[in-house]
Amino acid sequence: MPEFIARRLLQLIPTLIFILVVVFALVRLLPGDPASAILGDRAIDADVERINRELGLDKPIPVQFWVFVKSFATGNLGNSITLKLPVSQLIADRLPITMLLTFMAAVISLLMAVPLAFVAALKRDRPPDSIIRGGFQVGLSMPVFYVGLILLTIFGAKLRWFPVGGYGDGFLDHVYHLFLPAVTLALSLSAILMRNLRAAIIGVLDADYVSFAQSKGLATRLILYRHILRNALISTLALFGLSIGTLLGGAVITETVFAIPGAGRLMVDSIYGRDYPVVQGLTVALAVLVSVTFLLTDLLQAWLDPRMTK
Partner 1 sequence: MTDTARPETPVPSRGRAGLLSRLPRTFMFGVLILGTLVLIAIFPEFFAPYDPLAFDYSAVLQPPSAAHPFGTDNFGRDVLSRVIHASTINLQIAIFATITPFVFGTLLGAVVGYVGGIAETIFGRVVDAVITFPFLVLVIAIVSVLGPGLVNMYIAVGLVGWVFYARIIAAEVKVQKRLDYADAGRAMGYTHTRIVFRHLLPNSVTPAIVYWMTDMALAILLGSSLGYLGLGAQPPAAEWGVQIAEGKNFMATAWWISVFPGIAIVITGLGFSLLGDGLADLLRTRK
Residue 78, phi-psi category: left (phi > 0), alpha (psi -120 to 50), beta (remainder) = left
We find the least distance from the C-beta atom of residue 169 to partner 1, in angstroms, to be 27
We find the least distance from the C-beta atom of residue 233 to partner 1, in angstroms, to be 17
Examine residue 62 and tell whether it contacts partner 1 (CB under 8 A).
Answer: no
Contact call for residues 127 and 135 (beta carbons, < 8 A) = no
Size of site (CB under 8 A) for partner 1: 51
150-169: contacts with partner 1 (CB under 8 A): 150, 152-153, 157-158
Per DSSP, helices labelled H in 206-275 are 208-215, 220-222, 230-257, 263-273
Round to whole Å and give the CA distance between 192 and 163. 28
Examine residue 116 and tell whether it contacts partner 1 (CB under 8 A).
Answer: no
Binding letters toward partner 1, positions 4-33, x by CB under 8 A: -------x--xx--xx--x---x--xxx--
DSSP 8-class letter at 306: G
160: three-class secondary structure by DSSP: coil
Contact call for residues 232 and 197 (beta carbons, < 8 A) = yes
Examine residue 142 and tell whether it contacts partner 1 (CB under 8 A).
Answer: yes
Examine residue 309 and tell whether it contacts partner 1 (CB under 8 A).
Answer: no
Contact pick of 87, 101, 110, 144 for partner 1 (by CB under 8 A): 144
Cα separation values, 171 from 2, 97, 168, 178, 241, Å: 37, 11, 8, 10, 26
Round to whole Å and give the CA distance between 293 and 304. 16
Buried b (16+ CB within 10 A) or exposed e, 133-147: beebeebeeeebeeb
Round to whole Å and give the CA distance between 229 and 44. 66
Examine residue 137 and tell whether it contacts partner 1 (CB under 8 A).
Answer: yes
194-223: contacts with partner 1 (CB under 8 A): 202-203, 206
Contact call for residues 256 and 185 (beta carbons, < 8 A) = no
Binding letters toward partner 1, positions 29-58, x by CB under 8 A: xxx---------------------------
Examine residue 63 and tell whether it contacts partner 1 (CB under 8 A).
Answer: no
216-255: contacts with partner 1 (CB under 8 A): 242, 245-246, 248-250, 252-253
Q: How far is CA 110 from the centre of its chain?
A: 15
We find the least distance from the C-beta atom of residue 50 to partner 1, in angstroms, to be 26
Examine residue 92 and tell whether it contacts partner 1 (CB under 8 A).
Answer: no
Q: Which amino acid is at 301?
A: Q
Examine residue 89 and tell whether it contacts partner 1 (CB under 8 A).
Answer: no
Partners of 58 in beta bridges: none
We find the least distance from the C-beta atom of residue 203 to partner 1, in angstroms, to be 6
31 vs 217 by CB, closer to partner 1: 31
- The contact set with partner 1 (CB under 8 A) reads 11, 14-15, 18-19, 22, 26, 29-31, 125, 137-138, 140-146, 149-150, 152-153, 157-158, 202-203, 206, 242, 245-246, 248-250, 252-253, 256, 264, 267-268, 271-272, 279, 283, 286-288, 290-291, 294
